[in-house]
Chain A
Amino acid sequence: MKHFAVTIIGRDRPGIVSDTARILYELGCNVADSSSTILGGQFAMILIVSHPDFESSEPLQQAYAELESSGLSVFVRTLKPGGEKRPDLPGELCMISVYGSDKPGIVYQVTRLLSQNNVNIVDLATKLIGTAERPVYVMMCEAVLPATLSVEDIRDMLENLREELQVDISVRNVTPVEL
């Protein structure tokens, strides 16, 4: 069965989710994974959907034309076989919080260091808070460590950046416990 990634974004208002879901329901699509949130004044949705008969994204694109005319942007990507499956990510899961006065390069510097050390980011959210005069940047990053690295190792690695960027950084283990 073919899977598709549908991305929808537009000015937030009540009804975006139900309009999206109605179209998928009427088409006979199955929603596997999805994540939606409000970013600024925009509501953003990403869904992994499948349909037993669709070979291309054409029917989805056609069905979403009515939503696009209401001011939402819709993008449909056809996944390669297996692209809907989450890779097995062993290793410890950690939450990295970075926050401080807003300045260019916070996300880049932190994620570059993580990437260089083979740390896989699985969830990332950033937010500009504080006042217009004194903006504060907050970055919350959830990442899977390679087997060779511990939470303490990552903490040590980020120490230099803390000085360089003048931000506060904390790292803690959030590996799920099975009960």
Chain B
Amino acid sequence: MAVREVLLYPAPILKQVCSVADPQAAETSALAQDLIDTMYASGHSVGIAAPQIGAALRVAVVDVSESKLGRKHNHGLVVMINPEIIERSGQKTMREGCMSVPDYTGNVERAKEIVVQFFDQQLNDCIIRCKGFEAVAIQHELDHLDGKLFLDRISNPGTELFRRKH
């Protein structure tokens, strides 16, 4: 319905813990649609969360199906209202960037595979198992709902690799 402006850090809302959304409310559905429109309009983003467009509610969308890294394993467009990660396994490090923190990237270690539960736009109670890039993207977006940025999770493989016990 509308492409919204993507807020940049230090917008305070990006550090807030978001409130539970009402899946049945028309505003929630409209918010989900704005997220979808804003994500696709950016051309290069594979996910966006509500606080990034100024709404402190637990709603996020992800679509890695058009990305080279996500083409193999994906669930297409995933609209998540009140998502919860209920299972995590493995480890995967990717160099992440974020539309809300331009010009900076860093290595972030996340679970390789996750099971996530949420309501979709049609109010279905969904549970999906995701892996690889889709799992990373979902974890990144869900962090936004807790006021966390990838900057809070950066690890430095260089120093880790060379850290030795004497």
A residues contacting B by CB (< 8 A) are 93, 125, 127, 129, 138, 140, 174-179
Contact at B158–A177, with CB atoms within 8 Å?
no
Q: How many residues of chain B have a CB within 8 Å of chain A?
A: 23
Q: Does B141 contact A (CB under 8 A)?
A: yes
Report the tally of A-B residue pairs with Cβ distances under 8 A: 44
Q: Does B69 contact A (CB under 8 A)?
A: yes
Q: Which residue of A lies closest to B144 (CB)?
A: A179
Interface-facing stretch out of B11-19, B92-100, B114-122: B92-100
Q: Which residue of A lies closest to B104 (CB)?
A: A176
Once the chains are docked, how many angstroms separate the CA of A93 from the CA of B136?
Answer: 19
Once the chains are docked, how many angstroms separate the CA of A93 from the CA of B44?
Answer: 17
Most buried by A among B67, B95, B133: B95
Contact at A177–B136, with CB atoms within 8 Å?
yes
Q: Which residues of B contact A178 (CB under 8 A)?
A: 44-46, 97-99
A125-B162, A177-B46, A179-B99 are known contacts; what are 19 more A-B pairs with Cβ within 8 Å? A93-B95, A129-B162, A138-B161, A140-B161, A176-B96, A176-B97, A176-B105, A177-B67, A177-B94, A177-B133, A177-B137, A178-B45, A178-B46, A178-B99, A179-B46, A179-B47, A179-B97, A179-B141, A179-B150
Contact at A127–B98, with CB atoms within 8 Å?
no
Contact partner, A140, options B47, B99, B158, Cβ 8 Å: B158
User: In the complex, how many angstroms separate the beta carbon of B119 from the nearest chain A beta carbon?
Assistant: 22
Q: Which residues of B contact A177 (CB under 8 A)?
A: 46, 67, 69, 94-97, 133, 136-137
User: In the complex, how many angstroms separate the beta carbon of A121 from the nearest chain B beta carbon?
Assistant: 15
User: In the complex, how many angstroms separate the beta carbon of A102 from the nearest chain B beta carbon?
Assistant: 16
Once the chains are docked, how many angstroms separate the CA of A64 from the CA of B99?
Answer: 39
User: In the complex, how many angstroms separate the beta carbon of B92 from the nearest chain A beta carbon?
Assistant: 11
22 residue pairs A–B, Cβ–Cβ below 8 Å: A93-B95, A129-B164, A138-B162, A140-B158, A140-B161, A175-B95, A176-B95, A176-B96, A177-B46, A177-B95, A177-B133, A177-B136, A178-B97, A178-B98, A179-B45, A179-B47, A179-B96, A179-B97, A179-B98, A179-B137, A179-B140, A179-B141
